[in-house]
Chain A
Amino acid sequence: MGALTVHLKATYLQLRIYIWMVIIIIILGRLAEFIVGFFTDSSQKTGLADGNLLLLILLIIAIVLPLSYYNRIVHLGASRKQYFWGLQFVYIMWAAALALFNSLWPILEVNVLHKNTLNLIEAFHWNEFGIMGSFLYQTIFYLMTMALLSMLISGFYHFFGWFLWVLLIVAIPTGTAIPALRTHVVSFFEALLFNDSLLKGVGFNLVLFFVFVAVGWFFTKKRTH
Chain B
Amino acid sequence: MDIVLSCDKLNKKYGRTYALRDLDIQLEENVIYGLLGRNGAGKTTLLNVIAGGLFANDGTIEVRGKKLSKGALPEDCCFVRENNKLFGGARLIEILQFASNFYPNWDWTFTHKLIQTFGLDPNQKIKQLSRGTESLVGNIIGLSSRSALTLFDEPVLGLDVLMRERFYKELLEDYANHPRTILLSTHLIDEISPIAEQVYIIDKGSILLHDEMNQIRMSAHLIRGNLDAVATFTKGKRVLHTESYGYGKLAAIYEKLNDEDRLQARKLDITIENLTLQRFFSYLIEGGH
Count B-side interface residues using an 8 Å CB cutoff.
Answer: 27
Inter-chain contacts of A74 with B (CB < 8 A): 53
> When the two chains form their complex, are residues B87 and A14 in contact, meaning their CB atoms are under 8 A apart?
yes
Query: Could you tell me if B101 and A13 are in contact, using CB atoms closer than 8 angstroms?
Result: no
Q: Which residue of the partner chain B has the closest CB to A68?
A: B85
Q: How near does chain B come to A67, taking the closest CB pair, in angstroms? A: 12
B98 at the interface (CB under 8 A from A): yes
Query: Any chain A CB within 8 A of the CB of B40?
Result: no
Q: Are A13 and B81 in contact (CB under 8 A)?
A: no
Contact B101 A71 (CB under 8 A): no
Task: Specify which of B72, B73, B141 is in contact with A76 (CB 8 Å cutoff).
Answer: B141
Interface size class of A (residues with CB under 8 A): 20 to 34
Within 8 A of B (CB), among A160-191: none
Interface 9-residue window, one of B2-10, B88-96, B195-203, B236-244: B88-96
A2–B84 Cα distance when bound, in Å, is: 23
Main secondary structure of the interface of A (DSSP, over half): helix
Q: Among the interface residues B53, B78, B79, which one has the most CB atoms of the partner chain A within 10 A?
A: B53
Q: Is the CB of A75 within 8 A of B85?
A: yes
Beyond A13-B90, A77-B145, A221-B71, whether A3 also contacts B84 by CB under 8 A is no
Q: Other than the known A13-B87, A72-B87, what 4 A-B pairs have Cβ atoms closer than 8 Å? A: A13-B89, A75-B85, A76-B84, A224-B55
* 25 CB < 8 A contacts A-B: A1-B97, A1-B98, A3-B101, A6-B98, A10-B90, A13-B87, A13-B90, A14-B89, A72-B87, A73-B98, A75-B85, A76-B84, A76-B86, A76-B141, A77-B78, A77-B79, A77-B99, A79-B72, A79-B73, A80-B52, A82-B102, A221-B71, A224-B53, A224-B54, A225-B53
Interface residues, chain A, with chain B CB atoms under 8 Å away: 1-3, 6, 9-10, 13-14, 16, 71-80, 82, 221-222, 224-225
